Amino acid sequence: MIDNPVRGRFNSWLLGALDDYMHARYGEAKTRLLKGAPPVVLEIGPGSGANLRYYAPGTRVIAIEPNARMHERLRRRAEQFGVALDIHPVGAEHIDVATHSVDLACATLVLCSVANPAAVVAEMRRVLRPGGRFVLIEHVVAPSGSLIASLQRAISSPWRWVFEGCNLCNNTTAILEEAGFHRVEIEPLVVRTVLLPIRYQIIASCTC
Ligand SMILES: C[S@@+](CC[C@H](N)C(=O)[O-])C[C@H]1O[C@@H](n2cnc3c(N)ncnc32)[C@H](O)[C@@H]1O
């Protein structure tokens, strides 16, 4: 369980404050990834609930959220959107969800925050049924040799501290491609943002 009274509160507030911006920036991609979502969805690292608006009312969301400071906003958002929440306050590396029991797993801006992204992806493969999908949006390491890659390395430690584990230098594309999914579709995205360290992103759908 993650429970830092200062950074946890700050990050929960920040995610809530950025909600409209995130909706404007990622709404189209999220709508596409979550279109036709089944009645039960597994979401890892839902934070303060940025994705709940994209599920149909009545959807049950198994929410793997180890950060206790996110839970209050997450519950409020679930109520607002008529989503039934089942919060597991643990990391997504090992979850108490049966093997091959899930049709759709979702993660937005989460694999950057986990200590072992390859272990989390393996866990998603374990719980997904054959044909099930793991959909995600993530910021990734910039092209090797670029100025942004140098910037990412230079500020990596303080960034990680402020944003509770967020790693700017993950090669998530390689992790997904090497995870053993049946099919991996990755759409690279270069976001126009002043936040240069998170400029390079991917939208991905991985099918078991
Ligand atoms: C940058 S926030 C993204 C929140 C939300 N998905 C969004 O798009 O706004 C990263 C989230 O991952 C969560 N997280 C951190 N470590 C995790 C882990 N090991 N397993 C699952 N979630 C984790 C954090 O608590 C936080 O809620």
- Of 38, 39, 90, the residue nearest 63 (C-alpha): 90
CATH code at 63?
A: 3.40.50.150
Residue 46 included in any domain: yes
- Amino acid in position 95: I
- With a 6 A CB cut-off, is 91 part of the ligand 1 pocket? yes
Q: What is the pLDDT along the chain (208 residues), one digit of tens a residue?
A: 777 777 778 778 888 888 998 999 999 999 999 999 999 999 999 999 999 999 999 999 999 999 999 999 999 999 999 999 999 999 999 999 999 999 999 999 999 999 999 999 999 999 999 999 999 999 999 999 999 999 999 999 999 998 878 999 999 999 999 999 999 999 999 998 888 999 999 999 999 9
Assigned token pair, 75 = 């519950």
Distance CA 66, CA 87 (A): 9
- Closest C-alpha to ligand 1, atom 18: 91
Gap between the Cα atoms of 8 and 66, Å rounded: 11
Number of domains in the chain: 1
Nearest alpha carbon, ligand 1 atom 10: 110
| 181 Cα–ligand 1 center, Å | 22
Domain that holds residue 78: 7-207
Residue in 14, 77, 113 to alter for ligand 1 test, most ligand atoms within 8 A of Cβ = 113
> What pLDDT, on a 0 to 100 scale, did the predictor assign at position 59?
98
Q: Is 2 domain-assigned?
A: no
Q: Is 167 in the pocket of ligand 1 (CB under 6 A)?
A: no
> Would you state the structure tokens that stand for residue 190, as one six-digit string?
């270069």
Q: How far apart are the CA of 70 and the centre of ligand 1, in A?
A: 9
Instruction: Identify whether 1 is part of a domain.
Output: no
Domain-embedded: residue 99: yes
Strands ordered across the beta sheet of 60-64: 84-88, 60-64, 40-44, 102-108, 128-139, 200-207, 183-190
Q: Is residue 130 part of a domain?
A: yes
Whether 61 maps to a domain, the answer reads yes
Q: Is there a domain that residue 64 lies in? A: yes
Does a structural domain hold residue 167? yes
d(CA 187, CA 149): 19
